[in-house]
A = this chain, B = another copy of it.
Amino acid sequence: MAVDTDLGTVVEALRAALPAERLITDPDVLVTYASDEAEWAPWELPLAAVRPRTAEEVQAVVRACIAHRVPVVPRGAGTGLSGGANATAGSVVVSLEAMDAVLEVDALERFAVVQPGVVNDDLRAHVAGHGLWYPPDPASSPWSTIGGNVATNAGGLCCVKYGVTRDYVIGLQVVTGTGDLVRLGRRTAKGVAGYDLTGLMVGSEGTLGIVTEVTVKLRPLRDPERTVAGYFDSVVAAGEAVTAVAAAGLTPSALELVDRHCLAAVDAWKNMGLTADAEVVLLGRVDTPGAAGDVEAEQMLAAFSSAGASWAAVSTDAEEADALFSARRLAYPALERLGPLLTEDVCVPKAAVPAMLGRIEAIGKAHDVLIANIAHAGDGNLHPLLSTPPGDDAARDRAQLAFHEIIAAALEMGGTVTGEHGVGLLKRDGLAAEVSPAVLDMHRAVKAALDPHGILNPGKVF
């Protein structure tokens, strides 16, 4: 295949291959396609962005980029927190947002086939109409797309009981690094037809292929959840409650931690009348039906109390409980309003949650950095959010130091630094610190095998 080194011509090739309205070259518009929400990660203005409507259009874009050896950067809603969708100079961004159809729901076989641009909550609402449920629920579920969730193997609130995105993706349609449009995986309950290329694509952040269709398995809609809320005077005490819940043998359907910085930021924005009485709030949920669920909610309450909750109760008010969970989902955008955020995504063993929360607090104090905490605490998946005042470069420098100390602490405790947000640009050093050189070589070998021209979102992940 001839390489055309005049990069300008890829835009001409795209213009020839696609309806005119698919192509964006106006810099004022392009800038909105140039980065995700990882505002600390570098990005550049791309050559062009395209908004394809079909898999064949995506294929045409990839083929043009192969012909011109131009990097392709796929993106969904741009809610990513690791810079995985950030454009590089001379790249073409492929925004899948317009491919937003739910194509099929099979209630008997319990799967749905969707385009990548479907918003997570929209899929959830759609399948609920068939009595079915798509569990993975990243906090960004009102905005993020299934394609982005697949690219990052997104987690979420109920993943502590129900698993992450990869656990639900059974089939994919993908444009490969060789410009082929292929189907991977299955539509049946089981199938081991060769290597698990489907699972390999999930979490590969567009570096091994561009997903044009997703088949997800579904579960039956579940019974309403019970909510158990607890207030704690310290993050360490809340962490001890998390360990106590695990030690009691419970499997909560959610166990979220939100600290007062987050609650205050949400309240300042949305005026929800949230409490300022607690340093930290734990929000637990139980979805076991019947009397067994009542017992589990009481056991969770006992675990909260044993860890020193200043107040704890099983909520009898569904609206109040939903408001608390809404506040938790709004914590990230609420804090973003106050200044640049550097987001951690560490996951430590459940036994290490109290110690890790203590370390995070100490690191924040040592470097004079405001660290707000939200966490999928039941998973040990902590999201300390390092907040700095706008324009304060010294604070940014201190935050960078704290960021790397938190990563080192998580690894020291037997954890990972990439819980659920992907690696992108922001966690590349963390990945390299976490896996051995031989495993990094395996990554490079797989990447070279499936992206022989090196055009699929190069420079991300590793």
A interface list, Cβ under 8 A from B: 106, 108-109, 131, 152-153, 155, 159-160, 164, 166-167, 176, 178, 180, 182-184, 186-197, 199-200, 202-204, 208, 219-220, 243, 246-247, 249, 251, 288-292, 347-351, 376, 378-381, 414-423, 431, 434-436, 438-439, 441-443, 445-446, 448-450, 452, 461-462
- B200 close to A351 (CB less than 8 A): no
- A450 close to B461 (CB less than 8 A): no
- A191 close to B418 (CB less than 8 A): yes
- B462 close to A190 (CB less than 8 A): no
**Contact A190 to B442, CB < 8 A, known contacts A108-B246, A350-B109:** no
A448 to B184, CA, bound (A): 19
- B108 close to A247 (CB less than 8 A): yes
Name 26 interchain pairs, CB-CB below 8 A, sorted by A.
A108-B349, A108-B350, A108-B351, A109-B349, A109-B350, A152-B192, A160-B189, A166-B199, A186-B347, A188-B414, A189-B347, A192-B420, A193-B418, A193-B435, A194-B418, A194-B462, A195-B204, A195-B443, A196-B196, A199-B199, A199-B200, A219-B251, A290-B290, A291-B291, A445-B450, A446-B450
A443 to B189, CA, bound (A): 22
- A438 close to B178 (CB less than 8 A): yes
- B197 close to A442 (CB less than 8 A): yes
User: Which B residues are in CB contact (< 8 Å) with A415?
Assistant: 188
Further 12 A-B residue pairs, CB within 8 A, beyond A178-B441, A183-B439, A188-B349: A108-B350, A109-B350, A109-B351, A183-B436, A184-B439, A187-B414, A188-B348, A189-B378, A194-B418, A195-B461, A196-B200, A289-B292
User: Which B residues are in CB contact (< 8 Å) with A442?
Assistant: 176, 182, 197, 449-450
A418 to B191, CA, bound (A): 6
- B349 close to A187 (CB less than 8 A): yes
- B438 close to A182 (CB less than 8 A): yes
- B249 close to A220 (CB less than 8 A): yes
What 8 pairs across the A-B complex have the smallest Cβ distances?
A449-B449, A445-B449, A191-B416, A199-B199, A180-B438, A189-B379, A188-B347, A190-B347
* Shortest distance from the beta carbon of A76 to any chain B beta carbon, whole Å: 16
User: Which B residues are in CB contact (< 8 Å) with A291?
Assistant: 290-291
A128 to B28, CA, bound (A): 61
Q: Give the residue of B159, B190, B450 whose beta carbon is less than 8 angstroms from that of A190.
A: B159
A187 to B351, CA, bound (A): 12
User: Which B residues are in CB contact (< 8 Å) with A438?
Assistant: 176, 178, 180, 182
User: Which B residues are in CB contact (< 8 Å) with A376?
Assistant: 190
Chain B residue at smallest Cβ distance from A131: B249
- A166 close to B108 (CB less than 8 A): no
- B379 close to A420 (CB less than 8 A): no
Chain B residue at smallest Cβ distance from A290: B290
- B200 close to A439 (CB less than 8 A): no
Q: Give the residue of B208, B219, B431 whose beta carbon is less than 8 angstroms from that of A193.
A: B431
**Contact A446 to B182, CB < 8 A, known contacts A159-B190, A246-B108, A350-B189:** no
